[in-house]
Amino acid sequence: MAQARRMELRLLDETEKELVEASRHPHLAERTDEDLSSLRKNLRDRRDRARDIASRQRREMRGKAAPSGAKPAADNAGSREKFAALSAALQRVNGEIARRKRFSSREELKRNAEKALEMRRAASRPNRPTSRRAKKGMRSVPNERGPDLVNPMEVGRVSQFVKNGQARRDSR
């Protein structure tokens, strides 16, 4: 691991070193979401540039493109390694952004569930006056209708089932 870091330090310039170091563990967790998105954008730009340079050098080595410098490229290993280092840094940043997104969506889901439960509890509470107590205020008026034992959804489901069955019989 230390050897890979030394290799990265040798390949990258100062701003790229800062970007890659910012994508490592202790610094990554301290950044805000806006900082992470700007870090991701900068890393993408640098990675894309390194990829383009490596592919151009590869084309020069194969003789498909004219040399861009004084002499044609003989090797593109450094550019490929730079591309790999920047890609790994970008993966770390993307992973942190995805982790934060999962965490926030979990929190949002929890808040929505609690809100829905509270709404359901509020809707299921009867709206009875508080003054209907024994020996204080109004007398209780008994409900003359019996409790509704059948769910209205069940009634509709059965009615639709009967309609569908009759339609099947009629179409024969």
Q: What does the domain layout of the chain look like in residue ranges?
A: 2-124
Beta carbons of 137 and 131 less than 8 angstroms apart:
yes
Tokens of 77: 């290993």
Helix (H) or strand (E) holding 112: helix 77-124
DSSP-derived 3-state class of residue 80: helix
Q: Which residues pair with 133 in a beta bridge?
A: 136
- Which residues touch 107 (CB under 8 Å, ≥6 apart)? none
Structure tokens at 36: 């992470």
pTM of the model: 0.60
How far is Cα of residue 56 from the mean position of the Cα atoms in its chain? 35
Going residue by residue through the chain, which has 172 residues, state the pLDDT in tens, using 9 for 90 and above: 555 677 677 889 899 999 999 999 888 989 999 999 999 999 999 999 999 988 888 888 887 877 777 677 777 888 899 999 999 999 999 999 999 999 889 889 999 999 999 988 888 777 666 655 556 567 777 878 877 888 888 999 999 999 999 999 999 8
